[in-house]
Structure 1
Amino acid sequence: KSSSIAVSTHMPFVCRFDVVGYGCMTCIGNSGPLPDAVVEAITQGDLVAVGVLSGNRNFEGRVHPNTRANYLASPPLVIAYAIAGTVRIDFEKEPLGRNAENKPIFLKDVWPTRDEIQAVERQFVIPEMFKEVYEKIERVNESWNSLNAPSDQLYSWNPKSTYIKSPPFFDLLTMELQPPNSIVDAYILLNLGDSVTTDHISPAGNIARNSPAARYLTNRGLTPREFNSYGSRRGNDDVMARGTFANIRLFNKFLNKQAPQTIHFPSNETIDIFDAAERYQQAGHPLIVLAGKEYGSGSSRDWAAKGPFLLGIKAVLAESYERIHRSNLVGMGVIPLQYLPGENADILGLSGRERYTINIPKELTPSMQVQIKLDTGKTFQAVMRFDTDVELTYFQNGGILNYMIRKMSLQS
């Protein structure tokens, strides 16, 4: 993955550039903060601020939470849009700006020729620079080389670490397989629409100061400048569970607006999604997510399945799934349910405020239909998207992690 972004600062006849993110820095959303005045203007004016980047992660809010729209472009075009200061420009008809003589300068006037680019490559991109770097890689960083590495065969967990902690995935694991249970009287945690991405489900960008993850880190003595990003803390399940569905651009139909919040129906309170899920789990209530088409689209991310599992989500009911994300849900023991052709929440009259009971048969077959019954008395059928016998095996084991532990234990 390679990413870059250029930021311009406009002054009379001057345009400055700084490289503020490269490699995974921009891709993961660590390009740095916008000036407070800019964030305030965007928020107060409800502006659609735009980022232009030469990467492959242009989800809304990914580069920065306040850049609602992000477009992919070649590195020269990133610079061109930054000079223009807007994406609403026709480069063929509108100039990038004017020179000291007030002459309009178009993109074609400054676009490098192939010969110019190759001349720069021949001068600066030479084999010796790569050879020099890799020859020194094992000895050049004294700080890295001086680190003490334990020789223990098992990792020694540091209970004070906010980056890496022992995950709870195996806390209730037994060697004996447990028969699948039906989902009884489940609440709907979220009512989502089409094209919900893995970035909406498990954002990798910065941790908002008013989020459950921020509260968790603050309680452990960290300051906002030390929060870092969800991507950097993906070894801590407490942070990642709190970051699940924490994208500020998540649109929840229960609220009819973009916000990482939902309605906790027993209390009728609008609260952060993690806090609602925690209340449901403490009361012993299973959870389901309603969604539209292409649920889980975008980049593959294991935490987009692990996070919902930790929130107590037992199933997702969607019109269709992105292929890899559906497989990841299966791998965590979360049931991917799919409406029958021609049906969806609107056609079936589902508000999401009902309670759902899903009858899981003891004998399962790939792509079988199951009955869903609401507390209103309404019933309908949905497809369990376990597409192969192998996926059924994973589900019956409570997920692929449990399956592998059991398999390894039997082999040892």
Structure 2
Amino acid sequence: MSVFDELIGQERVVATLRRAASDPAAMTHSWLFTGPPGSGRSVAARAFAAALQCEQSQSPGCGQCPACHTVLIGSHPDVTVVATNETFLRVDRARELALAAATRPAAGRWRILIVEDADRLNEQAADALLKTLEEPPPRTVWLLSAPTLDDLIVTVRSRCRHVRLGTPPVQAVAELLIRRDGIEASMAHYAARAAQSHVGIAKRLATDEAARSRRRRVTGIPLSLTSLGAALAAAAEIVEEASDGASAASGEDAAQARAEVLRQLGADPAARTQPPAVRAHLRQLDEEHKRVARRRQHDTIDAALTDLASVYRDALVLGSGADVEAVNAGELEQVRQLARALGPEELLLALESITLARGRLVANGAPLLVIEAMMIGLTLPRARSGARG
């Protein structure tokens, strides 16, 4: 057993991290993990943190000692993990991290700070971390992760040692689902392929029929875009489903957080009117949960757009005759129909439209307007010519 067992398809990365954990000469105090979604950036960071704290100095990362165990479950006192649900990691949180980085480890060998969403550092927050990233205390280690180097400002990435992860093979993801989660082989292979090797999404698809049903609806959209009305309806469905899901999840979290705040402040939860100080805390809490709900909505929409893009990608590959396995191998007939309806240039334009929509969402564009504009651009040629006529 090893803390690196779930970091699949990343042998080169594992070798680098093992060497750094066991050889002080190979160690660096600021690291940046990059790679596509699902490649295992956060898994790599946590596994490396466990190896650095491991009690087995001859073979760090044993996965069995108390230090490894507490790091992996998130309870080690010297490992701080930051994973925000908000659109940006704010400057006040960055300053808190800089102060934490200056403290000595309480129990382990290192004070380790893991920032899983370093791409969400705005410029002010990034500036607050620059000095401690460049000159951290001797026993402090920073582990940042982001999709690409370009997602961080140059002053941050230039201060870190870069470790790039690749997309793991579909077979490796399927084998992990079978071994770790007990998923039946055919379902594991379907989920790994449909998730495009994203381990987290693959597990959800393999274990949740509702998730598989949502994906089937999304992959059926391209052939349904036969009119302006159909395009607007498809956009509304994606946005409404994402909004409803985000609101439900945030509502549950908000209720629990509100009850906890009232308990900590000694306030009566049944009171019709709370004191001014309590109301101020509750307003701040409400604002935070609104930001979380927006982020969840955007993430859900982005996942749907990834699935949508996979259909156009498959149609493009099929039309080219390339010997590449389809993401949507179970829906090949509708992929063939799409390849007959759209030529290579039109399929490429469709993929560009989806990429543009994803970028506009990141830039805080209004979700419904962004997705409506995209869907209108994706309407099938006969529908567009009919509208002009």
Q: Which interval holds the TM-score relative to the shorter structure?
A: under 0.3
Higher helix share: 2
Higher strand share: 1
Q: Which has the higher contact order (CA 8 A, sep 6+)?
A: 2
Q: Which TM-score applies when normalising by structure 1?
A: 0.22
Which has more radius of gyration? 1
